[in-house]
Amino acid sequence: MELPYAESWKIKMVEPVRKSTAEEREEWLKAAHYNVFQLKASEVYIDLLTDSGTGAMSDRQWAAMMTGDESYAGSTSFYELRDTIRRITGFEYVVPTHQGRAAENVLFSHLVHAGDYVPGNSHFDTTKGHIEARKAFAVDCTVDDARNTQLEVPFKGNVDPAKLEKALKEYGDKVPFIIVTITNNTAGGQPVSMQNLREVRALADKYGKRVVFDSARFAENAYFIKTREEGYADKTIKEICREMFDLADTMTMSSKKDGLVNMGGFIATRWEDVYEGCKKFAIPYEGYLTYGGMNGRDMAALAVGLDENTEFDMLHTRIHQVALLGKLLDEYGIPYQRPAGGHAIFVDALKVLTNVPKEEFPAQTLTVELYREAGIRACEIGYILADRDPVTRENRFGGNDFVRLAIPRRVYTDNHIRVIAAALKNVYDRRESINHGVRITWEAELMRHFTVKLEPVK
Ligand code: F0G
């Protein structure tokens, strides 16, 4: 008999979780202005808000914390981290930052100027925010396939080469670089194929541009290349990572995802001029170049985390769990961005809450309903997160309206996954009775979803 699948780790430390009553949740929702970012963690039973910084570190990572070197300059932990990053990515220069958006801030301060256009695949909201805050424009060149949630294609995160070439032709000198997000978070944790990365590289070379990878989930992307793309089944994750990064010039990293740490980020590049440019901003914004907003002990844990998470078994354990959630939703007929992605399931709210008009934010409404049902905190990746158009100030209703169920790394068991699926089924079963959503009573100009205040329309 073939042995069944099991996790590639065992549990050494546990943390109690707390259930709540429906009455308590109603009260807490109201106090949170129907924005789940405003809930206290103690008011949440299963927390799927994000997979960012919410993972469990391994015993080896905790052990590394004890040997972290807290020197202000020249920290041994920095050099350990730099050498690990060099080995995995091939990039010579490394600038640590306190998280991914800080890496964007430092790099873009050097490279992005007012009136620029930055083409890529579904820029993450902080990436878009850092571009738009500089009065520049993010040009989304994601393949159209990503829009059709029911289409089952292996690399829905890809850049459309025709759209990219059009942008490169149209904006010429106004393009400082191309950015490719691996995996493509906003499109549903969908991977980008090696073939597509090669096509992007070829266009970049043709138009004399450099390529930046937003690499928050690069290891998950490598897993999908290994398991879905022809010719990669026998390559190791580390070999695939190296091949991916060979097609880029620079990377920004949120280490809170595939670095398996709770806080941290970095920029890495093969170009000395980019490094020199970043240095000017890294020091005032983040800190000296051998810590950049990170403790020595955190850099030590990150070095171990990057190594652990570029091993197949670790990634298989994780992505298998996301796939299990997808499989259960299939059984219940609940539509999500297919196929299941790397870090999350993205429920297609427009197909679930068909009675709620888009002006009343269906995905946010479904997020509220899931919390109301079982204290499960998901995250809207939809019309609220899309912010307003910087020129017209209209809501951007053009894209998908998702509820993201992000799975923290090494935190929940498959039993929790079953609870999540059952709770969503209960909401799904009463979807016809949900006719109204929410309206905004207060919002920030950029990245509004974190702090937006809402109220039920009825
Ligand atoms: N790029 C991508 C693709 C991301 O998903 C994130 C963060 C960032 C950059 C910014 O990194 O949080 O370390 O500053 N995504 C989190 C999420 C917040 O929930 O998807 P950060």
The per-residue pLDDT for 176 is 98
Structure tokens at 307: 């190594």
Ligand 1, atom 18, residue with closest C-alpha: 52
| The dihedral sign for the CA sequence 222, 223, 226, 228 | negative
Stretches in the chain below the pLDDT threshold 50: none
The per-residue pLDDT for 4 is 87
Whether ligand 1 lies within 6 angstroms of the CB of 185 is answered as yes
For residue range 144-186, list pLDDT tens digits in order: 999 999 999 999 999 999 999 999 999 999 999 999 999 999 8
Active site residue 124: yes
- φ/ψ of 259, rounded to 5, equals -85, -10
Whether ligand 1 lies within 6 angstroms of the CB of 402 is answered as no
Index of the ligand 1 atom closest to the CA of residue 343: 20
Whether ligand 1 lies within 6 angstroms of the CB of 52 is answered as yes
Active site residue 226: no
The per-residue pLDDT for 390 is 82
Ligand 1, atom 9, residue with closest C-alpha: 100
Structure tokens at 441: 């009573």
The per-residue pLDDT for 447 is 85
- φ/ψ of 444, rounded to 5, equals -85, 160
Catalytic residue selected from 123, 257, 316, 416: 257
Whether ligand 1 lies within 6 angstroms of the CB of 221 is answered as no
Whether ligand 1 lies within 6 angstroms of the CB of 265 is answered as yes
434 C-alpha vs ligand 1 centroid, how far in Å?
A: 31
The per-residue pLDDT for 382 is 94
State how far the Cα of 9 lies from the Cα of 7, in Å rounded to an integer. Answer: 5
The per-residue pLDDT for 39 is 98
Ligand 1, atom 16, residue with closest C-alpha: 52
For residue range 396-426, list pLDDT tens digits in order: 998 899 999 999 999 999 999 999 999 999 9
| Alpha-carbon distance values, 132 to 22, 83, 317, 339 (Å) | 40, 34, 37, 31
pTM of the complete model: 0.96
State how far the Cα of 85 lies from the Cα of 70, in Å rounded to an integer. Answer: 19
51 C-alpha vs ligand 1 centroid, how far in Å?
A: 9
Whether ligand 1 lies within 6 angstroms of the CB of 25 is answered as no
Contact at 8 Å (CB) between 59 and 281? no
